[in-house]
Amino acid sequence: MSKTLLFLIDSWSSMSGGIQTVNRELCLSIAQLAGAAADREIDVICIAKDCSPEDVDDASRAGVVLRRAESVRSSRADGRVLEMLFHSSLHTMLEVICVVGHSKFTGLAAQNVRAHHFPSAKLVTMYHMDVDETEGLKDASEESASAAEYSHFLAEWESRFKLEFEIASRADFVFAVGPRLMRSITSALAAETGRSPVVRELLCGVDDALEARRSVPERPTFLFIGCRPPKGKGS
């Protein structure tokens, strides 16, 4: 009997950002590897908050079973933090060995789906952003904001960090996008007592089959130069 990897995502399309691209390409890559195996033992099923019939057809041709969630529950008015993505097929799925969420967007939904439907499955989350670094870049400073605004900004900062940390700490496996984020979440989790998840590095867009990886410095740093994103981007 084949085993199932269950992905929970907010959107199949890349229209709203690069996170969706990471999720989609990961599903497609795993399905491709499974399809190339002599004895296919892995099925990839993806439940998305948003996907079109065309998306479903495209995914099917690539070997991914894509389903639009029949009900959605969010903890924020903007719908960005999803607590549950439900589809009736969850009741009939067999041999789900892994439930995958992505950071604050579907990490809580993955926790709840695993707890209610597949308690023996492993819980996986993707970690793609260091809140401690990104929140400080937003348009709120002690000099330019009122005391109330700055206090609210700091409270939001702390709340988002706690949410990301909670999702990562409760997972069985954490895949951090790139070496810098891997160091970041590994250090944060190491400071916490008790059980820690296994942290692995996810290199997006790198194909080891094309060229052997070169050795890199222990703490490499990359400088990107460009225009600043619109106010509120990533909030």
pLDDT digit string, tens, across residues 191-201: 775 667 899 99
Average pLDDT of the chain is 82
Q: Which residues contact 93 (CB under 8 A, 6 or more apart)?
A: 4, 6, 45, 117, 118
CA distance 74 to 153: 21
The most confident of 135-139, 156-160, 173-177, 231-235, by mean pLDDT: 173-177
C-beta separation of 129 from 181 below 8 A: yes
- The domains located in the chain, with CATH, are 3-131+167-202 (3.40.50.2000)
For the ranges 30-34, 80-84, 109-113, 225-229, the lowest mean pLDDT is seen at 225-229
| Rounded mean pLDDT, 37-48 | 84
Task: Look at 172 and 128; give whichever has higher pLDDT.
Answer: 172
Rounded distance, CA 233 to CA 228, Å?
A: 10
The CA distances from residue 112 to 40, 71, 117, in Å, are: 28, 14, 8
pLDDT at 2: 82
